[in-house]
Amino acid sequence: MKTGLVTDILGYMPFEKMLDTCQELGIETLELGCGNWSKAPHVDLDGLLASAGARNKFLDAIQSRGIEIAALNCSGNQLEPTELGKKHAETVEKTFKLAGLLGVKTVVMMSGCPSAGPNDTIPNWITHPILPPHFEQLEWQWNEVAFPYWEKAVKVAKDLGVEKIAIENLGFNLVHNPETLLKLRNEVGQMVGMNFDPSHLFWMGGDPIAAARQLGSAMYHVHAKDVRIERGVNDVNGLIDVKPMEDFATRSWNYVALGHGHDVGYWKEFFTVVKMMGYEGPIVLEMEDLTMDPLTGVIKSMDVLKESLPRDFKNISQARYSVPTGV
């Protein structure tokens, strides 16, 4: 269970500086954004696809520091029925191709969310299909859009050398929990598993530890990411919150640095259960706490991760960075 980082949080750093920072913090493996929702701060997708020399230089910079690539990430909405959705689908296929060329076996992405019908253009996450028309729309999303797309995507990824597609359980996607992941997996095969991000289950009211037991071998990748349910706000308004993430002072819940929503004891149990279920892959930090400096959040999260993972860290760097005061 190696420590990892989604490098977008350090996107303000040049590639080599980011790698040096990760090495000194004891981060052993990376998840690199390739486009779509990510600004791809450390990956020139088209440049790497075009040049074997560029790929060799890219890999050497990472491997020379004793770091690996855990996964490439192309999260977006390739099921959106617009030109943007087509562009996202193109980036997905390019990411599959780059993964194969780099020898990266896992690609992290979202399932996507279609519109509510063939004549709509706005993605529609149907969460309350009580009336018959809504149920029919949900079935249309799965049967007419998602299943056909994913049947093709799995074949393309396999042909390009990808071994695992790890779909994140994020809301506003058809796949947002174990039940919906297994629905897709049962249709398109075991090349599809979950990038299990416990933070999303927190804000949807689920229990990540129970979910890990349910997922078992369907966990293909795991994020270390925390959520804090905000007392005094959630109690009044509940967990459904449409305010921007930047309005963290008034939101019902917020993404926070690891340990700032659930204590170390919780994460010790969570990661132990994940391991008990047979998962031995990387545990990758995704730091999106807007209340602190990015590097501060990464350092604090790494402290919790090292304490809570069921493994020895004697040979891992214990370097410490000076972080901004007053944060």
pLDDT, tens digit, 9 for 90 and up, residues 2-13: 999 999 999 999
pLDDT of 314: 74
What is the Cα gyration radius of the chain? 19
β-strands 164-168, 226-229 pairing: unpaired
Identify the DSSP state of 149.
Answer: H
CA 165/CA 299 separation, integer angstroms? 29
Query: Following DSSP, what letter does each residue of 63-104 receive, concatenated?
Result: HTTT-EEEEEE--S-TT-SSHHHHHHHHHHHHHHHHHHHHT-
pLDDT, tens only, 125-157? 999 877 767 788 999 999 999 999 999 999 999
Task: Name beta bridge partners: 227.
Answer: 255
Q: How far is CA 177 from CA 68, 200, 201, 205, 230, in A?
A: 28, 9, 7, 11, 22
Helix (H) or strand (E) holding 18: helix 15-25
pLDDT in tens, 5-37: 999 999 999 999 999 999 999 999 999 999 999
Give the pLDDT mean for 108-128: 94
Nearest Cα residue to 25 out of 50, 37, 7? 7
| Domains observed in the chain | 3-308 (3.20.20.150)
The one-letter amino acid at 55: R
Q: What span, in angstroms and rounded, lies between the C-alpha atoms of 77 and 58?
A: 27
pLDDT for 35 equals 98
Q: Taking residues 26-53, what's their average pLDDT?
A: 98
Model pTM score = 0.94
φ, ψ for residue 221, nearest 5 deg: -165, 150
Average pLDDT over residues 197-209: 97
SS3 126: coil
Mean pLDDT in residue range 244-261: 97
Q: 């959630």: which residue's tokens?
A: 234
pLDDT of residue 316: 58
**Which residue type does 51 have?**
S
Residue 235 burial (10 A CB sphere; 0-12, 13-18, 19+): exposed
SS3 of residue 267 by DSSP:
helix
Residue 44 has pLDDT above 70, yes or no: yes
Q: Is the separation of the CB atoms in 30 and 70 below 8 Å? A: yes
Q: Which pLDDT score is estimated for 313?
A: 85
Q: What is the mean pLDDT of the chain?
A: 95
**Distance from C-alpha of 274 to C-alpha of 262, rounded to nearest angstrom:** 16
Average pLDDT (272-285) is 98
CA distances from 179 to 134, 183, 184, 249 (A): 19, 6, 9, 32
Q: Which two tokens stand for residue 266?
A: 């919780």
**Ranges assigned E (strand) in 131-170:** 164-168
Contact assessment for residue 164 and residue 221, using Cβ atoms and an 8 Å cutoff: yes
Handedness of CA 44, 33, 27, 296 (dihedral sign): positive
**Strand boundaries in the chain, DSSP class E:** 3-6, 29-33, 68-73, 106-109, 164-168, 192-196, 219-224, 226-229, 253-256, 283-285
